[in-house]
C-alpha cells in the first residue's frame, strides 16, 4: 500500500479510522503501538504516524521520525561504534521511543576468498570458479524455450537443501583442469561474517543514521537534554554527528519566530508611541498582554502542557488582537477628550468603555467562534499545527476580553493621562 517507491526492506499499511475525537484516536494509537511492540517481531522496526506528520517529517529530514541523528566518518567500523554510543545515550533520555538504526551492522553473509596458490595447483581459472558459484547459488541461464509466442529462459541452480549451510557451500564440487573433482573449501577460504544490507552516503562521506520519536515531552526540553547527553560523548577521531529532523527544525523555527516577533514588536511600539505621543499611555496599553497570557497558558496546559510552533503562532496572533482592543479603547478615550470636550474622570472612563464594548466583544466573539471547531479538535490528526494555535487564541481572547473591559479602564483611570490636544 506504499504511496512512494521503496525497496523490499520497507512496507507501509494505511489504516483508516472512523470520525472520532482526539482522546479516542490516542487510545487507538496506543493499541496499535501495543500490537507492534509487544509481539517480538525480530528484525523489524515500526513507525506509526498520521499523514500530515509523516509528510512534514519526510520533507524536513527524509525520515518518518521527529529526531534524526547522522554520524559522519570514513571508517564504517568506527562509525558503528559511535552509533551505538549515541543510540544508548538517546535511549536514556526521557520521552525517546522507537529508536532505530537505519543501516545496522551485523547482517550475516557468507564471504568466499579464493586461494590463488590452490587454484594454480589444480589449474582452475577464477572465471570458471565464479561461474560455478554463480550457477550454484544465484542461478545461471543455460537455454531458452518457447511456449507459444512467449520466450522462457531456463536457468540452473543448486537445490535449496544444499546451499543454506556453510558446510554445504564448502562441499560444492569444482572440476579441475585434469577432470578431477575438488571441493570449493579446498581452493577457497569460506566464512560467515557480519555484513551490511546497505551503506549510506551523504556529501561524499559515509554516514550512519539514528531515528527516534518523542513521546509526551516538550520538544525544546528534549532537544536540550539530547545535546547535553551527546556533548558528554567522545567520538572516534574523524567522526562527527549532525542533529536534524522535525524536532530540530521546530526548535529552529521557534527561535526565528521569537526573534522576528521581537523585532516586529519593537517597530509596532515605536509607531504607537508616535501615534499616542504619550509614553505613559503606551505602557498602560501593554497591561492587557498579561490578561491574554493567562488564558493562553491555561490553553497550553489543557493541550498537554508544552509549546509547539503552532502554539507560538497562536500567542503572536493573540497578542496582536489583544493590543488592537487596547488601542481601540485608549484612542476612544482620547477622542472623547478632543472631540466631545470631556474631562478625564470616572464618568468619561465608564462612557468610553461602554461605547467600545460592542466592537471589542464582536472582534473577540467572531474570532473565537471561527476558531472554536479547530480548538475543540486540536488532538485530531491533521490539526497538529492549527489545533494548538486555535486553542491559545480562544483561551486568551476569553480572559483578555473580560479583563480588558473590567480592569484596564480602572488602570487607565488611576494611571492614565488624557489631555486635550492643541
- Give residue 1's pLDDT band: very low, low, confident or very high (50, 70, 90): very low
The residue ranking higher by pLDDT, 307 or 23, is: 23
Is residue 258 assigned to a domain? no
The verdict on 183 and 210 lying in the same domain is: no
Is residue 82 assigned to a domain? yes
The pLDDT, as a whole number, for residue 382 is 63
Q: Identify whether the C-beta of residue 129 lies closer than 8 Å to the C-beta of residue 119.
A: yes
The verdict on 237 and 90 lying in the same domain is: yes
Give the pLDDT mean for 172-188.
Answer: 88
The pLDDT, as a whole number, for residue 57 is 62
Cα-only R_g, the chain: 35
CB atoms within 10 A of CB 386: 17
What CATH number does residue 152 fall under?
Answer: 3.30.2090.10
What CATH number does residue 64 fall under?
Answer: 3.30.70.600
Span 121-163, pLDDT tens digits:
888 888 888 988 888 888 888 899 998 888 888 988 888 888 7
What CATH number does residue 316 fall under?
Answer: 1.20.1640.10
The verdict on 151 and 298 lying in the same domain is: no
Please tell me whether residue 291 adopts helix, strand or coil conformation. Answer: helix
The verdict on 285 and 352 lying in the same domain is: yes
Q: Is the pTM of this model over 0.75?
A: no
The verdict on 175 and 312 lying in the same domain is: no
Element (H, E) at 143: strand 140-147
Q: Identify whether the C-beta of residue 412 lies closer than 8 Å to the C-beta of residue 330.
A: yes
The verdict on 86 and 226 lying in the same domain is: yes
Q: Identify whether the C-beta of residue 57 lies closer than 8 Å to the C-beta of residue 66.
A: yes
Q: Which domain range does residue 167 map to?
A: 108-196
Is residue 96 assigned to a domain? yes
The verdict on 294 and 356 lying in the same domain is: yes
The pLDDT, as a whole number, for residue 303 is 64
End-to-end alpha carbon distance in the chain: 75
Look at the chain and report how many structural domains it folds into. 3
Compute the distance between CA of residue 17 and CA of residue 269 in angstroms, rounded to an integer. 48
The verdict on 208 and 236 lying in the same domain is: yes
Compute the distance between CA of residue 128 and CA of residue 137 in angstroms, rounded to an integer. 14
The verdict on 134 and 217 lying in the same domain is: no
Amino acid at each position: 500500500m506504499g504511496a512512494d517507491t521503496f525497496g523490499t526492506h520497507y512496507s507501509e499499511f494505511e489504516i483508516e479510522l472512523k470520525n472520532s475525537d482526539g482522546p479516542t484516536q490516542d487510545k487507538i494509537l496506543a493499541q496499535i503501538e501495543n500490537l507492534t511492540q509487544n509481539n517480538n517481531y525480530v528484525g523489524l522496526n515500526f513507525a506509526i504516524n498520521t499523514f500530515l506528520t509523516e509528510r512534514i517529517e519526510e520533507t524536513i529530514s527524509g525520515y518518518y521520525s521527529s529526531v534524526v541523528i547522522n554520524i559522519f566518518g570514513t571508517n564504517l567500523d568506527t562509525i558503528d561504534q559511535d552509533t551505538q554510543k549515541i543510540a544508548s545515550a538517546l535511549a536514556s533520555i526521557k520521552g525517546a521511543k522507537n529508536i532505530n538504526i537505519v543501516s545496522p551492522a551485523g547482517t550475516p553473509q557468507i564471504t568466499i576468498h579464493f586461494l590463488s596458490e590452490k587454484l594454480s595447483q589444480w589449474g582452475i581459472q577464477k572465471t570458471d570458479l565464479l561461474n560455478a558459484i554463480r550457477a550454484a547459488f544465484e542461478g545461471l541461464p543455460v537455454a531458452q524455450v518457447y511456449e507459444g509466442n512467449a520466450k522462457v529462459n531456463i536457468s540452473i541452480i543448486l537445490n535449496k537443501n544444499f546451499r543454506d549451510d556453510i558446510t554445504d557451500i564448502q562441499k560444492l564440487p569444482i572440476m579441475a583442469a585434469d577432470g578431477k573433482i575438488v571441493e570449493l573449501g579446498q581452493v577457497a577460504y569460506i566464512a560467515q561474517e557480519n555484513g551490511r544490507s546497505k551503506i549510506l552516503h551523504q556529501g561524499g562521506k559515509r554516514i550512519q543514521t539514528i531515528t527516534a520519536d518523542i513521546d509526551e515531552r516538550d520538544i525544546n526540553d528534549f532537544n536540550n537534554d539530547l545535546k547535553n547527553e551527546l556533548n558528554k560523548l567522545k567520538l572516534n577521531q574523524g567522526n562527527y554527528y549532525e542533529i536534524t529532523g522535525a524536532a530540530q527544525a521546530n526548535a529552529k523555527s521557534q527561535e526565528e519566530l521569537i526573534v522576528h516577533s521581537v523585532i516586529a514588536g519593537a517597530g509596532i511600539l515605536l509607531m504607537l508611541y508616535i501615534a499616542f505621543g504619550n509614553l505613559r499611555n503606551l505602557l498602560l496599553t501593554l497591561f492587557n498582554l498579561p490578561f491574554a497570557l493567562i488564558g493562553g497558558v491555561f490553553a497550553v496546559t489543557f493541550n498537554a502542557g508544552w509549546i509547539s510552533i503552532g502554539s507560538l503562532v497562536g500567542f503572536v496572533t493573540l497578542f496582536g488582537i489583544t493590543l488592537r482592543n487596547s488601542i481601540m479603547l485608549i484612542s476612544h478615550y482620547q477622542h472623547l477628550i478632543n472631540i466631545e470636550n470631556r474631562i478625564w474622570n470616572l464618568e468619561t472612563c465608564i462612557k468610553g468603555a461602554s461605547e467600545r464594548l460592542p466592537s471589542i466583544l464582536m472582534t473577540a466573539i467572531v474570532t473565537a467562534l471561527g476558531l472554536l471547531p479547530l480548538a475543540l479538535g486540536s488532538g485530531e490528526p491533521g490539526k497538529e499545527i492549527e489545533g494548538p494555535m486555535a486553542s491559545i487564541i480562544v483561551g486568551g481572547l476569553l480572559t483578555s476580553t473580560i479583563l480588558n473591559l473590567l480592569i484596564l479602564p480602572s488602570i487607565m483611570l488611576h494611571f492614565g493621562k488624557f489631555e486635550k490636544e492643541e
